[in-house]
Amino acid sequence: MRPRLLLRTATIAVAGLLVAAGSAFAKDRSECDRIYKPSVGQPGKDVVWVPTPDELVQRMLAMAKVTPKDIVYDLGAGDGKIAIAAGKLGATAVGIEYNPDMVKLAQCYVEAEGVAGKVKIIHGDIFKEDFSRATVVTMYLLPELNLKLRPTILNMRPGTRVTSHQFTMGDWEADETAEIDYRTAYLWIVPAKIEGQWNFRDATGQQFTVALTQKYQKISGDVTVGGRKQPLVGATLRGDEIRFAFNDDKGVTRTLTGTVRGNEINGALRAAGGGDVKVSGTRR
């Protein structure tokens, strides 16, 4: 064989080998299905495996307003479908799953769906793994498991969104619910901890004190301004965003909107019919 022909033949052979090797590694879902065949209702450590229907997965992620900036953790990931769907929205996603066979299957689907750069399925116990960096938590567990996770969730960063398929969080009422085909999705937003006595001062030098009480995201309280105490009006808390109104010592209605950061609240105080002045508060 002439050298040039020999070179061309060798090149074609190497290319053929590379294609063959590539296809041996490329995965599609049918290949994953040969790894392990789970059955709906099969036992899991704390709860059986039942997948959330696709439409509800999309609804849960939409309620949580998942964007590429989010880190989504699915607690009890099953075949990884919620984590994969979050990854397809551009989010970083982690699924925690206890059953090692389910983990392998979910990892294979992650590759087959082309989201391996965004999505990880880890083998672990949701009661032992640290998911505190999540900005969104999703779950389809059981009422008692949600309750067991509730203290951990309530200690997460204020504003963290939590969605659950079907099951509630005891007396922590959902911020939003949605229903699809007789199934319910719930959304909670982790509230900042705002209970206590606060001293406020606005940019004009006006001072007032506020006593706040809290049950989850529901807040109430009263304000003392100019030596007169009165209940707050329309007090709301969504994540770390607080809002309430009161009448100042001149009888002008003022609305405070602020952001809670630990023992500080910073924001604006708007007078009815007037502009905003800066206001800040410190917890005593």
Positions in the binding site for ligand SAM (CB under 6 A): 44-47, 49-52, 74, 76-78, 81-82, 96-99, 102, 125-127, 140, 165
Work out the burial of residue 259: count CB atoms within 10 Å of its CB; fewer than 13 is exposed, 13-18 middle, 19 or more buried.
Answer: middle
Could you tell me the smallest distance in angstroms from the CB atom of residue 93 to ligand SAM? 12
Looking only at the bridges linking them, the beta strands covering 119-123 and 92-97 are parallel
- Pick the closer one to ligand SAM by CB: 45 or 250: 45
Could you tell me the smallest distance in angstroms from the CB atom of residue 174 to ligand SAM? 17
- Pick the closer one to ligand SAM by CB: 51 or 159: 51
Could you tell me the smallest distance in angstroms from the CB atom of residue 50 to ligand SAM? 4
Output the CA–CA distances (angstroms, integers) from residue 26 to 12, 20, 108, 171, 223, in the order listed. 21, 10, 10, 48, 64
Tokens of 11: 């090149």
Could you tell me the smallest distance in angstroms from the CB atom of residue 59 to ligand SAM? 12
Could you tell me the smallest distance in angstroms from the CB atom of residue 155 to ligand SAM? 19
> What whole-number distance in Å separates Cα of residue 67 and Cα of residue 91?
6
- Pick the closer one to ligand SAM by CB: 95 or 239: 95
Could you tell me the smallest distance in angstroms from the CB atom of residue 142 to ligand SAM? 8
Tokens of 169: 């969080």
- Pick the closer one to ligand SAM by CB: 10 or 35: 35
Considering Cα of 153, then 159, then 161, then 167, what sign does the dihedral take? positive
Tell me the residue number closest to ligand SAM, measured at CB.
76
> What whole-number distance in Å separates Cα of residue 56 and Cα of residue 182?
11
- Pick the closer one to ligand SAM by CB: 76 or 158: 76
- Pick the closer one to ligand SAM by CB: 142 or 277: 142
